[in-house]
Chain A
């Protein structure tokens, strides 16, 4: 009972926090919307073993005054640790992004937010079988460079932590494009 109450409280507080955050860009004027697509090498890492399924990620955001609000959706493939298959089903995340000024088209961003990642594991009966959600704090550090003659577009390299606990880390390195409207 106590556990259920704590869970409900945590969910309510999280919801209030995110709704508060979501109002920030809605109040801003002259937003610059952008979309991005990334190829990702994900890393599902345990103490001594790791699975590395690749994935494709889509980003949609709106920036204003070196800040942005960004939503991300990832779909991934499968990789094995011995006989255990790790299927990176999907991940959805929302970030508050701090953006540096551009210097000769180059900039760096740091994002913090919340990510929800679904991974399905399958293998022989004596191993682990099941689909689990790994939800929690997430962060991204990225650098981007404007593409010559196409100032609205830039190429982006990023490192992202989707989930971390004492048993496993879910991270990725991504390379992609962003288009600012």
Chain B
């Protein structure tokens, strides 16, 4: 018993002493520096330590509040090149003019007239390899634009393959902004089948050689560039579902599926495969079996693209064809199900059934959709996108389809500044539903 008491006292004394010793200590370390050293040593051992850095997307002029993404590529000790934009420590030579974040995104803070508003953005690797880029922040007016192809840099564009257009912009203080699309609006000539988006990406699909004249404009200054899209090197196109090439597929009524398309050029030109979702046209052999989303917002190139989304509408077999540059790819689609369409039901986007006349104020917008009701699953299907919406009577409203390719598709109905009454006739699969609208002051 005495021994136990003795040990208990030892434990308490040891605990108390340890406490007092510990409580007098504070962390004395540099874990950040140690972690950096470990990362560097790891890169040295793996041969992935960066030995040279190049900053691109620089030599550009920004206005106050604008942002611009710089890019950095590095060559490691294995001779491999990789994107190291997120690996660099970025700094600005003058944070009052422009700041840069840890991902190389530059934000212009204030205009400067000193030395053409130029500042230096520095990117440094953890092993202190440094590269510099130039940014200018000024509101001096544009004096000239020179448009050019970025990809491909020279020669004809390969039809169906996305091409990139940008310009060198000279300002009145003689500063030259390189390869920029900032503040440019693009258009193409009316005879061309090509489409160009806000980012200067040109989508071509003609089966013949086609010249397209692109016009870029900043304020009152404009420039033109004529490019030629040639399908001669287009070898084949392929239809994919979830990145797998597909030749045949079965869907149930109400099922929605996104098809995408890829193109291959002849091997002597490129062995790459190219996503051509924005250029390809989608058709089906038997109409009404599938609803196909054929349009897209070409400016949302970084977001989900719904072009090529199909909705299985009625039972049967059809062939879905992807077509671009004279090449085609076919998928046999079998739609199964025995649900019978019973009636159409217009609703608003909250699901409220529209069974009375809608009263709108002048210049007001409402959102409506059309559901097809079945006797069994899928019981209710949003068929807004694949139904016909016709305005009967006075031209008091405008219709615009939104969220195409999704189960939330709807028409945005905007009233004009006139008063009166009108009717929308919605037709789907030989059934009709009417929506009456009064426009009041």
Binding site for B on A (CB under 8 A): 7, 10-11, 14-15, 17-19, 21-22, 25-26, 31-35, 46-49, 60-62, 69-71, 81-84, 92-94, 114-116, 121, 123, 126-128, 130, 132-136, 165, 167-168, 181
Q: How many A-B residue pairs have CB under 8 A?
A: 140
Query: Contact partner of A46 among B19, B35, B44, CB < 8 A?
Result: B35
Question: A18 near B42 (CB under 8 angstroms)?
Answer: no
Q: Mark B23-52, 1 if CB is under 8 A from A, else 0.
A: 111111111111101111110110000000
Query: Contact partner of A168 among B23, B35, B42, B45, CB < 8 A?
Result: B35
| Cβ of B18 under 8 Å from chain A | yes
Chain B interface residue count: which class? 35 or more
List 16 A–B pairs whose Cβ atoms lie within 8 Å, in order of A's numbering.
Answer: A18-B23, A21-B19, A25-B12, A33-B4, A33-B7, A33-B8, A47-B39, A48-B42, A49-B41, A61-B11, A69-B15, A82-B41, A82-B45, A94-B22, A132-B29, A133-B29
Question: A92 near B35 (CB under 8 angstroms)?
Answer: no
Q: Mark B77-118, 1 if CB is under 8 A from A, else 0.
A: 000000000000000000000000000000000000000000
B40 to chain A: which residues have CB within 8 Å?
Answer: 126-127
Q: Mark B364-398, 1 if CB is under 8 A from A, else 0.
A: 00000000000000000000000000000000000
Give B77 Cβ to nearest chain A Cβ, in Å: 14
A15 to chain B: which residues have CB within 8 Å?
Answer: 20, 23-24
Question: A127 near B37 (CB under 8 angstroms)?
Answer: yes
| Cβ of B193 under 8 Å from chain A | no
Question: A181 near B19 (CB under 8 angstroms)?
Answer: no
Whether A19 touches B8, Cβ cut-off 8 Å, given contacts A71-B15, A128-B34, is no
Give A172 Cβ to nearest chain B Cβ, in Å: 18
Question: A49 near B19 (CB under 8 angstroms)?
Answer: no
Question: B38 near A46 (CB under 8 angstroms)?
Answer: yes
Considering the chains assembled together, what is the distance between the CA atoms of A135 and B15 in angstroms? 17
Question: B22 near A49 (CB under 8 angstroms)?
Answer: no
Question: A82 near B8 (CB under 8 angstroms)?
Answer: no
A135 to chain B: which residues have CB within 8 Å?
Answer: 22, 25-28
| Cβ of B269 under 8 Å from chain A | no
A130 to chain B: which residues have CB within 8 Å?
Answer: 30
Considering the chains assembled together, what is the distance between the CA atoms of A81 and B30 in angstroms? 17
Whether A132 touches B30, Cβ cut-off 8 Å, given contacts A82-B42, A94-B22, A127-B41, is yes
Give A101 Cβ to nearest chain B Cβ, in Å: 21
Query: Contact partner of A134 among B3, B31, B38, B41, CB < 8 A?
Result: B31
| 18 further interface pairs, Cβ-Cβ under 8 Å (given A48-B39, A60-B10) | A18-B19, A19-B16, A34-B11, A46-B34, A48-B42, A49-B41, A62-B8, A62-B15, A82-B41, A84-B41, A94-B19, A114-B23, A126-B40, A128-B33, A134-B29, A135-B27, A165-B31, A167-B32
B22 to chain A: which residues have CB within 8 Å?
Answer: 18, 92-94, 114-116, 135
Binding site for A on B (CB under 8 A): 3-4, 7-8, 10-12, 14-16, 18-35, 37-42, 44-45
Whether A81 touches B42, Cβ cut-off 8 Å, given contacts A92-B18, A128-B34, is yes
Considering the chains assembled together, what is the distance between the CA atoms of A60 and B18 in angstroms? 11
Give A26 Cβ to nearest chain B Cβ, in Å: 6
Question: B11 near A60 (CB under 8 angstroms)?
Answer: yes
Considering the chains assembled together, what is the distance between the CA atoms of A26 and B9 in angstroms? 9
Question: A81 near B31 (CB under 8 angstroms)?
Answer: no
A34 to chain B: which residues have CB within 8 Å?
Answer: 11
B37 to chain A: which residues have CB within 8 Å?
Answer: 84, 121, 123, 127-128
Considering the chains assembled together, what is the distance between the CA atoms of A67 and B33 in angstroms? 39
Among B18, B25, B26, chain A packs the most CB atoms within 10 A around the CB of B18
Give A33 Cβ to nearest chain B Cβ, in Å: 4
B20 to chain A: which residues have CB within 8 Å?
Answer: 15, 18-19
Give B356 Cβ to nearest chain A Cβ, in Å: 61
Question: B38 near A22 (CB under 8 angstroms)?
Answer: no
Question: B31 near A7 (CB under 8 angstroms)?
Answer: no
Question: A136 near B27 (CB under 8 angstroms)?
Answer: yes
Whether A62 touches B12, Cβ cut-off 8 Å, given contacts A15-B23, A94-B18, is yes
Give A64 Cβ to nearest chain B Cβ, in Å: 9
